[in-house]
A and B are shown apart, each in its own frame.
Chain A
């Protein structure tokens, strides 16, 4: 079965410093992986997705993630945090090669201080 584990429930950074949100996945085959962001009282927004093309995936708002099969990881990074990045971030895997349900991690709360 597919699963994802977000290694940190809460990450705090200062504005202008790098962001690292960690995610490990479990999959019996090459997975489809996503990062979503959820701002308070708003819907989930797709940041980026990995679908077995380039292992370094660039997303919106300066975020990127690198798929590392040897480490079963898909960590999300951003070189310089902005106050507007404060939100809940979810690492997500598609449920199967034929299935289309999304399996979400428990989420990481990103706090950004000035």
Chain B
């Protein structure tokens, strides 16, 4: 049973560019959450998607946007990249009916902005 799959694993972008990160949830899960983990810090909640809608959002600017597809997979888009956006981006899937328990995390995408 595949867990959470994220792609790509690493990428390097230039300031001002746009980036799209992808996540396939664990089989049977219908909810996807995205987290940003800066070096030496704990992950910070960006937003959560359920039924193709953004259900909850953390304290991140509108440059961060997302999408969920009918097959429950999700994308995280970041526009106008800043050096400070360099981080590990983690995707977590869960079952909405589980009231937030039972998160499964992917290994993340390491984004470097130069």
CA distance A46 to B4 in the complex (A): 14
0 or 1 for each of B91-106: is its CB under 8 Å from A? (1 = yes): 0101000011101011
Number of CB contacts from chain A to chain B under 8 A: 59
Which of the candidate stretches A14-22, A65-73, A95-103 sits at the interface with the other chain?
A: A95-103
0 or 1 for each of A47-67: is its CB under 8 Å from B? (1 = yes): 001010000000000000000
Asked whether any CB of chain A lies closer than 8 Å to the CB of B42, the reply is yes
State whether B100 touches A105 (Cβ < 8 A): no
Chain B residue numbers with a CB within 8 Å of A94 are: 100
Chain B residue numbers with a CB within 8 Å of A77 are: none
Known contacts A42-B107, A100-B56, A101-B33, A51 near B45 by CB under 8 Å:
no
CA distance A32 to B94 in the complex (A): 16
State whether A103 touches B45 (Cβ < 8 A): yes
State whether B105 touches A43 (Cβ < 8 A): yes
Asked whether any CB of chain A lies closer than 8 Å to the CB of B58, the reply is yes
Chain A residue numbers with a CB within 8 Å of B105 are: 36, 43-45
Asked whether any CB of chain B lies closer than 8 Å to the CB of A25, the reply is no
Among B40, B90, B100, point to the contact of A44 (Cβ < 8 A): B90
Asked whether any CB of chain A lies closer than 8 Å to the CB of B108, the reply is yes
Chain A residue numbers with a CB within 8 Å of B74 are: none
Asked whether any CB of chain A lies closer than 8 Å to the CB of B44, the reply is yes
Q: Which residue of B lies closest to A51 (CB)?
A: B101
Interface set, chain B 72-114, CB cutoff 8 A to A: 90, 92, 94, 99-101, 103, 105-108
CB of B36, distance to nearest CB on chain A (Å): 11
CB of B6, distance to nearest CB on chain A (Å): 9
Interface set, chain B 40-71, CB cutoff 8 A to A: 40-45, 48, 55-56, 58
Q: Nearest 9 CB-CB pairs, A to B?
A: A100-B100, A104-B42, A44-B105, A101-B45, A43-B105, A43-B107, A104-B43, A106-B42, A107-B42
